[in-house]
A and B are shown apart, each in its own frame.
Chain A
Amino acid sequence: MDDHEATRAAIETVWRIESPRLIAALARITGDVGAAEELAQDALVIALEQWPVQGVPDGPGAWLTATAKHRAVDLVRRRVRYDQKLREVGRDMEAHAQAEAYGEPDIDAMDDHIGDDLLRLIFIACHPVLSAEARAALTLRLIGGLTTHEIARAFLVPEPTIAQRIVRAKRTLADKQIPFEIPAPGELTGRVASVLEVIYLIFNEGYAATFGADWIRPELCAEALRLGRVLAGLMPRQVEVQGLVALMELQASRIPARTGPDGDPILLTDQDRLRWDRLLIRRGLAALGRAEQIDAAPGPYAVQAEIAACHARAGSVKDTDWERVAALYVVLAHLTPSPVVELNRAVAVGMAYGAARGLEIADTLTSQPALAGYVQLPAVRGDLLAKLGRLDEARAEFTRAAALTRNDRERALFEARAEACLPEP
């Protein structure tokens, strides 16, 4: 790598680390996420011009912030002057009110609110006015610091699609005049839920890719985990925030054991638990401990984390407290009733009280329209039937699961299980 390339890499690295806080601070000054991002990009362009000539400054983050700040202040001053001009010609009383509202920008206050600003940025990027897909893309862009290219690659969609999604999202936020603020206490729970949904969506797309050649895309999991950890730092007293972080840390701890040497999926019950990441388990259990300390009823994420903790604490499938897992699924079903939760309960009940009891629950779900194309229903029924020695029926279920999945690795797994149900020749 020559000097020029090294400088460029240094700039990109600093940008990745600093851009979320930079954009957040600029958004508070300008009141507009799109403008904030452009101003931050301007500062990046100036760095790309100056640093290779003058060298990388000692505090590169501070340099970017100072540069962007001045441009932001210019922008706001221009806007205020423009509004004043309008007022002078007496044409627009509304502009007057607006100019008053902007006031003179307070540059020094920019450093004092970084945490709050970042939180505001997260809330606006995950605003419910946007679709879940748009929220995910905008969050990865603004808070993750990912490029459009990287987001497109992560979600396996063409780059222009993501670019358009982000442009539209920013336009929607501007058109609907979504304020850059922390939600009022009354709407906080709902808005937090909207943020957590986006982070978990990103995590899950990495943890169990719904389609494509790979079953796991760890970089997306890592990104979601990082976002979750950032959020937990900003909102440590929210039980569901700690719950989601605990859930993701615990699920991610299994990633090293979730695929075989060829990338084939290995189910939880078949995993080599010695390969689980002890550091992530420790962090997950710690986050769960913090969630339990909060004087608030646990929500779906905290309960799912409790379930994941049952697995993390167990040295083997046999040692798992399946009765507790089954009981926690009852709690979860109460919080978020869904046939998918019920199917998971069937698995736990099957482990705790025998395959026949599990199958009874799973069989009640076959007529659920919501599960009509759901891969895991035949997969679970196949597993329970196989345990009961009803191999013909089990094979039919695994064959159905193989036909339903859009993931190549998963298909191979189900085909192998169907094969295993054939009588010995």
Chain B
Amino acid sequence: MRYMMLLTATIPSTPPPPELYEAIMKLGGEATEAGVLLDTAGLLPSANGARVSLASGSITVTDGPFTESKELISYALYEVRSKDEAIEWTSRFMRLHRDLWAGWEGETDVLQVMGPDNLG
């Protein structure tokens, strides 16, 4: 079963502490060694991107930033055996933020990727 985790958070006033970055890399290493993490990357602020929308038959392109206060921060793709496993890895990720970045708040959506018998 493949899951995509999308981390969203309010734009923080301070940069993330370096220990958090290290801890995230370590957790990513563990998940890779466990054979479950397929792919992950951070996302630059939406100011670097654009939004292409379709409404009333017309396609418009809007340059970023296009978020009010919350930004997509990163994504991860996991191949696990159950939703519970996906949640457990995500909880570990969120615990790092709680323990290493005081006051930070955000959420990770855990979404199952469509595939044949949930492998693909």
Chain A residues with a Cβ under 8 A of chain B: 9-10, 12-14, 16-17, 58, 115, 216, 218-219, 221-223, 225-230, 233-234, 252, 255-256, 259, 277, 279-280, 283
Contacts and interface: CB of A to CB of B under 8 A. Distances in A.
Q: Which 5 A-B pairs have the closest CB atoms?
A: A229-B35, A218-B119, A226-B35, A13-B84, A256-B120
A144 B54 CA distance: 46
Given A218-B118, A256-B120, A225 B88 contact: no
A256 B36 contact: no
Given A226-B35, A227-B35, A17 B117 contact: no
Contacts of B81: 16, 219, 222-223
Given A226-B35, A283-B38, A255 B88 contact: no
B84 A9 contact: yes
B34 A225 contact: no
How many chain B residues sit at the interface, stated as a range, is 20 to 34
A16 B85 contact: yes
Nearest to B118: A218
Interface string B47-89: 0000000000000000000000000000001010110110111
23 contacts: A10-B88, A12-B84, A17-B89, A216-B116, A216-B117, A218-B119, A219-B81, A222-B79, A226-B34, A226-B36, A226-B79, A227-B35, A228-B35, A229-B32, A229-B35, A230-B34, A233-B32, A234-B33, A256-B115, A256-B116, A256-B120, A259-B116, A277-B120
Given A218-B116, A218-B117, A17 B34 contact: yes
A279 B38 contact: yes
A223 B118 CA distance: 13
A348 B48 CA distance: 48
Nearest to A118: B33
Interface of B: 1, 32-36, 38-39, 77, 79, 81-82, 84-85, 87-89, 95, 115-120
Identify the interface centre among A222, A223, A252: most chain B CB within 10 Å of its CB.
Answer: A222
Given A13-B84, A225-B79, A227-B35, 19 more contacts: A10-B84, A10-B88, A13-B82, A13-B85, A13-B88, A16-B81, A58-B95, A115-B33, A216-B117, A223-B81, A226-B36, A228-B35, A233-B35, A252-B119, A255-B120, A259-B116, A277-B115, A279-B38, A280-B120
A8 to B, nearest CB: 10
Nearest to A145: B81
Nearest to A254: B120
A115 B33 CA distance: 9
Contacts of A13: 82, 84-85, 87-88
Contacts of A280: 120
Contacts of B89: 17
Contact of A17 (B1, B79, B85, B120): B85
Contacts of A216: 116-117
Contacts of B38: 279, 283
A233 B116 contact: no
A223 B35 CA distance: 9
Contacts of B77: 279
Contacts of A12: 84
A283 B120 CA distance: 13
A226 B119 CA distance: 12
Nearest to A223: B81
A283 B85 CA distance: 22
A222 B34 contact: no
A277 B39 CA distance: 14
A262 to B, nearest CB: 13
A218 B36 CA distance: 15
Given A13-B82, A222-B81, A225-B79, A233 B115 contact: no
A216 B88 CA distance: 28
A9 B89 CA distance: 14
A225 B89 CA distance: 19
Identify the interface centre among B34, B36, B82, B89: most chain A CB within 10 Å of its CB.
Answer: B34
A223 B82 CA distance: 12
B90 to A, nearest CB: 12
